[in-house]
Amino acid sequence: MSLNPEQLRDLIATMLRISPAEIAEGTSLAPLNTSLGAAKVRLGLKRLGLAMPAGTSPATFGGLLAALSGEDSSVAPRKAEPVSKPLPVSGNGGFAGLQVGLDVEDIRSMPAASDYWEHEFYRGSFSKSEIAYAVLHPEPRTHFAGFWCAKEALRKCDPLFAGVAPERTAVAHDADGRPYLTLETEAGPERLAHAVSISHTAEVATAVVVLNAVAAPVVVAVQEDSRVSAQAEAPVTPAREEKKSRGLAKLFGI
């Protein structure tokens, strides 16, 4: 679909909660330059048949127009540098190979919806199981915010997941109600080795994700455009001899 500036203006105005008449080329997109804001923009553009060029993050509405029309030659897709192995932590109380991710989200920033199953943002950001879990509670947005924090904390904890779409990672619960993380693969959901804890108040949700990179395979990832390639180096332990999950192995090429 060709770029329609007026449709784009209406979309951004809705996200910024201002009138389309107030949108000019110099209008700042800073309020949308968060992980949650970027997801909203991505899904909104998808509805218009558009896609943000990989590696771009326009600061203004005019920059967004230029990026989508291919006229902004100053913004080129960036290649991420290979992620180095985590360095062991020395000293008293240090934990070698421990990786931690933390995220906090204002619950009110989650879009209001009359039907979470049909809402564009929730359909494009969460698994069916996450939606089913959240809508069973009096305040679904509280749980969606917690799930979102877990997804973001995972990406901060483990760079391998930086290029994985939010809806492909999910929070599930065991028989005792404890949360854990999964990755959607061709073979179905695969449980991840990362530990997750989710908490919330009436206004804010937060999540912490932890990975012991010594006990788990050390993953080195390179992100190029919207694709993710990876290599895994596992320490010589009995666990290394265990059979790797076919789904994860096929996804990450290991």
What token pair was written down for 25? 């080329």
Domains of the chain, earliest start first? 5-69 (1.10.1200.10), 98-252 (3.90.470.20)
Say how far apart CA 154 and CA 148 lie, in whole Å. 10
Q: What is the pLDDT of residue 29?
A: 85
Each of the 254 residues of the chain gets a pLDDT tens digit; together they read 578 888 888 888 888 878 888 888 889 888 877 777 777 788 888 878 888 887 777 888 888 888 888 765 444 444 444 444 444 444 444 456 789 999 999 999 999 999 999 999 999 999 999 999 999 999 999 999 999 999 999 999 998 998 888 889 999 999 999 999 999 988 889 999 999 999 999 899 999 999 986 656 544 333 333 334 343 444 434 443 344 445 544 554 54
Find out whether 35 and 84 touch, Cβ atoms under 8 Å: no
For the purposes of burial, counting CB atoms within 10 Å of the CB of 123, is it exposed (0-12), middle (13-18) or buried (19 or more)? middle
